[in-house]
C-alpha cells in the first residue's frame, strides 16, 4: 500500500477500498503519511465525495485509531447531543441537566469555540472554579453521581480525527461533508453513548448555509450512527438568527441559568425542550416530561450538582466585561432580520471567540440584543449592547454589524419562521 495510489484513486473519482482507508488513516496517525499528502487526499474527497460505505469505513478507521469508552456500568440509559455550531448556541448548558433530571445519563464531550461559533467549554469555564479536563474515572464518577457531565474529550479518543481536523482547518477542506460527518461521528461513537441526537444548524451563522446541504450532512451522520449501532436522529434547526438574546461566554451562562429557573428566551426554551424529548425517546424514556422538570426546579438541582462536581461554584458572580457600548436602533419599525453570522463575527472580534485554538478568550465579552425579529423597535432606543475588556475593539465589532440589522417601517405583523425545520431519522 502506498499513499500516492490512494490519492490518485480518489483524484480520479474512484472508490477507496476498505484496505486503502484502513491503511491511510492508520499511517497518517502514525506519521508515515505526511501532512501535504493527506491534504491532497482531503481535497480530492472534498471535490469528488465518498459513498456511504466509504464514509462508514473511514469513520470506523478513525474510531480504531484510539480508545472507546464504556458506560455499561451505569444504571441509566445514555443519551448525548451534538450541535454543528452556531451563534448564541448555549443549548447544551440547560439541556444536559434537564435530560438527566428526567432519568437518562448524559455524557457530553464538548469543544471550544473557533471563529464566529461559540464553544460550550469556553462558556462553562467562565464559572469560577469549573474545570473541563477530567480523567475517565472522574468523568464516570460525575456521571454516576449527578446524571450529567460536560467535559473535554481525552487525547485517546479518535486521535486520527484530532490530527486531521487541524489539517482541514488550514487547507480549505473543512466543508467536505464526508469529513465533517466522520469527524463528528467518530468521536461520538467512540464516546460510547447508547443514543445520539444531532442538532444540525442551517443558515448564515452555520457551516451549512442551505437546507439541502444540511439534509445531506444530517442523513450521512444518522446513517453512520445507525451503521455503528447507535440510535441516532437529527433535527435541522434555524441559524439565520442567533439563539436567545446573548452571544458570549458568561453572558450565555447567565441566560442558560434563566432557562433552568423557568424563564429565558422562548426560542432557547423551545429548542431545549425539542431536543430533550428526542433524547429521552431515543434513550427509551418517551413518557418523561422535560417541561415539568424545568418547571419544578429538578433540572436546576442537577445543574448545581453538576457544576459543583467539576469544581465550580454555581452561586459565584459571573465575570463581566470592563467596558460596554450601546448601539441604538437607526429607525422606528419592526425588526425583520438579525444576521447570525454578523453577530457571531462581532462577538468574536470583541474577545468572546478565538481565531486559533491556542488563543485565549474573554469570559465577559460578547453581545446582547434587546429585540428579536418580529418585535417593534424605536429609533434611538438600545438595540445591541457590546461587552469587552478591550474597548479599542468596539469599532472593529461595529464594522461587522453594519448590515446585520433590517428594520421595516411597516406596522404589518411579522412572524419569524419555526426554529425546527426538519427531522431526519
* Cell, residue 294: 424545568
Catalytic site residue 325? no
Catalytic residue among 82, 90, 116, 201: 82
Catalytic site residue 75? no
Q: Please, is 35 exposed, middle or buried when counting C-beta atoms within 10 Å of its C-beta (0-12, 13-18, 19+)?
A: middle
Catalytic site residue 183? yes
The answer to whether 221 touches 67, Cβ cutoff 8 Å, is no
Cα–Cα–Cα angle for 266, 270, 276, nearest 5°?
A: 145
How many Å apart are CA 231 and CA 223, to the nearest integer? 10
Catalytic residue among 83, 183, 195, 240: 183
The answer to whether 422 touches 208, Cβ cutoff 8 Å, is no
Catalytic residue among 80, 122, 161, 267: 161
In the numeric block, the cell 506519521 is attached to 31
Pairing of strands 333-338, 246-248: unpaired
Catalytic site residue 186? no
Q: What's the first-to-final CA gap in the chain, in angstroms?
A: 37
How far are the Cα atoms of 147, 252, 299, 303, 388 from residue 256, in angstroms, in the given order? 18, 6, 11, 10, 20
Catalytic site residue 161? yes
Write down the H helix ranges in 49-193: 52-64, 92-101, 120-124, 136-146, 159-169, 177-191
Strands (E), 240-392: 246-248, 323-328, 333-338, 366-369, 376-377, 382-388
Catalytic residue among 168, 188, 201, 393: 168
How far are the Cα atoms of 72, 115, 191, 346 from residue 353, in angstroms, in the given order? 36, 6, 26, 10
Catalytic residue among 116, 187, 215, 231: 187
User: Which residue numbers are catalytic?
Assistant: 82, 161, 168, 183, 187
Amino acid at each position: 500500500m502506498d499513499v500516492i495510489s490512494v490519492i490518485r484513486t480518489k483524484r480520479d473519482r474512484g472508490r477507496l477500498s476498505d484496505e486503502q482507508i484502513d491503511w491511510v488513516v492508520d499511517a497518517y496517525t502514525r506519521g508515515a503519511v505526511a501532512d501535504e499528502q493527506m491534504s491532497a487526499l482531503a481535497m480530492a474527497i472534498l471535490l469528488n465525495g465518498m459513498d456511504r460505505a466509504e464514509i462508514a469505513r473511514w469513520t470506523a478507521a478513525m474510531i480504531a485509531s484510539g480508545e472507546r469508552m464504556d458506560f455499561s456500568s451505569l444504571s441509566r440509559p445514555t443519551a448525548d447531543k451534538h450541535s454543528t455550531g452556531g451563534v448564541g448556541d448555549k443549548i447544551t448548558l440547560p439541556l444536559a441537566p434537564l435530560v438527566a433530571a428526567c432519568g437518562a445519563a448524559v455524557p457530553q464531550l464538548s469543544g471550544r469555540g473557533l471563529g464566529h461559533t461559540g464553544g460550550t467549554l469556553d462558556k462553562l469555564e467562565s464559572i469560577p472554579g469549573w474545570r473541563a479536563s477530567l480523567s475517565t474515572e472522574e468523568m464516570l464518577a460525575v456521571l454516576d453521581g449527578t446524571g450529567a457531565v460536560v467535559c473535554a474529550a481525552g487525547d485517546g479518543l479518535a486521535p486520527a480525527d484530532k490530527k486531521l481536523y487541524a489539517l482541514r482547518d488550514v487547507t480549505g477542506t473543512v466543508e467536505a461533508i464526508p469529513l465533517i460527518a466522520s469527524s463528528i461521528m467518530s468521536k461520538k461513537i467512540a464516546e460510547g453513548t447508547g443514543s445520539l441526537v444531532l442538532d444540525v444548524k442551517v443558515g448564515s451563522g452555520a457551516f451549512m448555509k442551505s437546507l439541502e446541504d444540511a439534509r445531506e450532512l444530517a442523513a450521512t451522520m444518522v446513517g453512520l450512527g445507525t451503521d455503528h449501532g447507535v440510535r441516532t436522529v437529527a433535527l435541522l434547526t434555524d441559524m439565520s438568527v442567533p439563539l436567545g438574546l446573548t452571544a458570549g461566554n458568561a453572558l450565555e451562562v447567565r441566560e442558560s441559568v434563566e432557562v433552568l429557573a423557568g424563564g429565558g428566551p422562548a426560542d432557547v426554551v423551545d429548542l431545549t425542550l425539542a431536543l430533550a424529548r428526542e433524547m429521552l425517546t431515543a434513550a427509551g424514556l418517551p413518557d418523561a416530561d422535560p417541561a415539568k422538570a424545568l418547571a419544578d426546579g429538578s433540572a436546576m438541582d442537577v445543574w448545581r450538582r453538576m457544576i459543583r462536581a467539576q469544581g465550580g461554584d454555581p452561586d459565584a458572580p459571573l465575570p463581566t466585561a470592563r467596558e460596554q457600548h450601546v448601539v441604538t436602533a437607526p429607525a422606528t419599525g419592526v425588526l425583520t432580520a438579525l444576521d447570525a453570522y454578523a453577530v457571531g463575527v462581532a462577538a468574536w472580534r470583541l474577545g468572546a471567540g478565538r481565531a486559533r485554538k491556542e488563543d485565549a478568550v474573554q469570559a465577559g465579552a460578547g453581545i446582547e440584543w434587546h429585540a428579536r425579529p418580529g418585535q417593534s423597535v424605536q429609533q434611538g432606543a438600545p438595540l445591541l449592547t457590546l461587552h469587552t475588556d478591550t474597548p479599542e475593539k468596539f469599532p472593529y465589532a461595529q464594522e461587522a454589524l453594519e448590515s446585520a440589522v433590517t428594520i421595516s417601517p411597516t406596522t404589518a405583523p411579522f412572524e419569524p419562521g419555526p426554529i425546527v425545520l426538519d427531522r431526519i431519522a
